[in-house]
């Protein structure tokens, strides 16, 4: 249902969509397509500053998506932008890497307990794919345990949509269920002595289902399995990395992976991927061939160095926990006051709101449509992201909008 208000306020957006429909398959592809979102969502964005973003029509929003994770310090953080600009004034993509690569490898290996070395790339998918290749090179084995429903990127081996993908691309992936060691044992019966690695995300963050924190015994069990079998424990920290802990997301659990994949937030929106690994996998990492034309670009590495320093100096994780807690408390109180049964899952820095019995996300869409029209950019089917740029006033403004959104949900009645 498109109301007049949404047509009026998104007229530039509509024009861009019409043009894109001619020259881009489906208008927009991938995770940023809003075709499955309720009307009222802008497809095209024009500007960001701190915790606020503007769409192509100039409508302003408080940003609860952080560009799907990367913008952890807020948009155009002055410290990050200054570091990037200083580097851009010298060079970015060159015949060889810059000193920034060495500095960043030093900074990340110092920051992350399990890391003895680092390699850089451009996408989260680059990083997860490299981890599998290194695990196989190190062990000479083929099987990789992957949690059912987990998202580890969009290459043929891991894309959630198998169109154009062959069975062979996933021939040696063996499924298990997150937080279920019995399912891991069952998978091992298939794997035998052919286990190269186990991929796991720090929390369960599958699309469209409540987030789930890791059972410490599950994490420890995967570590033990890898110790026993000589396989690599691969932590996919692409989405959670630096939001849960200033280091590997499983450090608070006391579980160290052998390899970890990073991207998204490590350079506050500049394109960068990374893998970190233990000494035991250094020779395997050295032995594979992996590269890209822009992988040694110095600007995103300079941005990352500044991002990591600011995150540490300002205790951004602590800041996001405080702000996220304020947001979660407010949402829970509002839902209660409106008599609505909701679930708020995930860490408070990466909250996900669902409505009880709302299997088709009809209520979530009602809520999200009210939010976007009220000036809050959140997602009805994916966890949100709190940034270090959000302040108490932002949260209070969000809550004034969500209160109205819960009211709309209450009026729209129970799910069918």
Range 142-181, binding a second copy (CB under 8 A): 142, 154-157, 159-161, 163-166, 168-169, 171-172
Task: Rule CB under 8 A: choose which of 82, 93, 182, 217 binds a second copy.
Answer: 93
Tell me, by CB under 8 A, how many residues bind a second copy.
111
What is the Cα–Cα distance from 163 to 165, expressed in whole angstroms? 5
**Does 77 interact with a second copy (rule: CB under 8 A)?**
no
Q: How far is the CB of 142 from a second copy (least distance, A)?
A: 6
Minimal distance in Å, beta carbon 93 to a second copy?
4
- Give me the least distance between CB of 24 and a second copy, in Å please: 5
Cβ neighbours around 47 below 10 Å, total: 13
In terms of CB distance, is 221 or 365 closer to a second copy? Answer: 365
* Binding segment toward a second copy, per CB under 8 A, in 98-106, 202-210, 327-335, 345-353: 98-106
User: CB of 128 within 8 A of CB of 136?
Assistant: no
Does residue number 39 form part of the binding site for a second copy (CB under 8 A)? no
**Is residue 34 within the footprint of a second copy (CB under 8 A)?**
yes
For a second copy, the closer of residues 96 and 339 by Cβ is 96
- Nearest in space to 274 (alpha carbons), one of 33, 52, 107: 107
Q: What is the CA radius of gyration of the chain?
A: 22
Each residue 186-215 as x (binds a second copy by CB under 8 A) or -, in order, gives: ------------------------------
CB 256 within 8 A of CB 248: yes
Task: Indicate whether 14 belongs to the interface with a second copy (CB under 8 A).
Answer: no
Q: How many residues does the chain have?
A: 416
Please give the C-alpha separations between residue 158 and each of 71, 125, 128, 132, 382, in angstroms, as whole numbers.
24, 9, 9, 11, 18
| Token output for 351 | 């909250």
Beta bridge partners of 281: none
Among 7, 24, 182, 332, binds a second copy (CB under 8 A): 24
Q: Which of 10, 14, 62, 65 binds a second copy (CB under 8 A)?
A: 65
Tokens of 340: 């609505």
Is residue 129 near a second copy by the rule CB under 8 A?
Answer: yes
69, 257, 347, 388: residue in contact with a second copy (rule CB under 8 A): 69
98 vs 334 by CB, closer to a second copy = 98
| 68 lies in the site for a second copy, by CB under 8 A | yes
- Binding a second copy (rule: CB under 8 A), the pick from 14, 38, 50, 53 is 53
- Kindly write out the interface string for residues 108-127 of this chain, putting x where it contacts a second copy by CB under 8 A and - elsewhere: -x------xxxx--xxxxx-
Binding of a second copy at residue 264 (CB under 8 A)?
yes
């Amino acid at each position: 249902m498109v109301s007049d208000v949404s047509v009026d306020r998104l007229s530039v957006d509509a024009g861009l969509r019409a043009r894109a429909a001619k020259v881009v398959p489906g208008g927009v592809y991938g995770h940023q397509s809003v075709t499955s979102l309720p009307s009222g969502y802008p497809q095209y964005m024009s500007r960001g500053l701190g915790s606020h973003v503007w769409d192509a029509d100039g409508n302003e929003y408080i940003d609860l998506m952080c560009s799907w994770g990367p913008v952890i310090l807020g948009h155009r953080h002055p410290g990050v932008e200054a570091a990037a600009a200083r580097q851009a004034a010298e060079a970015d993509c060159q015949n060889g890497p810059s000193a920034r690569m060495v500095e960043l490898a030093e900074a990340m290996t110092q920051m992350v307990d399990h890391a003895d070395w680092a390699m850089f790339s451009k996408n989260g998918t680059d990083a997860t794919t490299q981890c599998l290749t290194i695990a196989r090179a190190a062990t000479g084995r083929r099987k990789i345990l992957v949690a059912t429903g987990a998202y580890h990127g969009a290459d043929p081996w891991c894309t959630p949509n198998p169109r154009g993908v062959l069975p062979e691309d996933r021939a040696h992936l063996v499924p298990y269920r997150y937080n279920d060691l019995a399912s891991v044992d069952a998978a091992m019966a298939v794997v035998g002595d052919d286990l190269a690695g186990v991929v796991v995300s720090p929390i369960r963050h599958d699309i469209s289902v409540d987030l789930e924190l890791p059972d410490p015994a599950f994490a420890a069990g995967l570590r033990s399995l890898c110790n026993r079998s000589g396989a690599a424990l691969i932590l996919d920290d692409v989405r959670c990395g630096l939001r849960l802990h200033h280091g590997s997301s499983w450090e608070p659990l006391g579980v160290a992976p052998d390899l970890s994949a990073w991207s998204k937030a490590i350079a506050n929106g500049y394109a960068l991927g990374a893998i970190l690994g233990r000494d035991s996998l250094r020779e395997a990492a050295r032995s594979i061939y992996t590269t890209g034309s822009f992988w040694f670009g110095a600007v995103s590495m300079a941005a990352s160095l500044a991002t990591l320093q600011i995150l540490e100096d300002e205790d951004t994780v602590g800041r996001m926990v405080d702000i996220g807690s304020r947001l979660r408390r407010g949402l829970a109180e509002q839902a209660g006051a409106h008599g609505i049964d909701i679930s708020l899952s995930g860490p408070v820095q990466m909250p996900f709101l669902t409505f009880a019995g709302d299997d088709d996300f009809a209520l979530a869409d009602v809520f999200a449509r009210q939010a976007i029209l009220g000036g809050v950019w959140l997602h009805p089917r994916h966890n949100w992201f709190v940034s270090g740029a959000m302040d108490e006033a932002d949260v209070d403004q969000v809550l004034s909008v969500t209160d109205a959104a819960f009211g709309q949900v209450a009026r729209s009645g129970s799910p069918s």
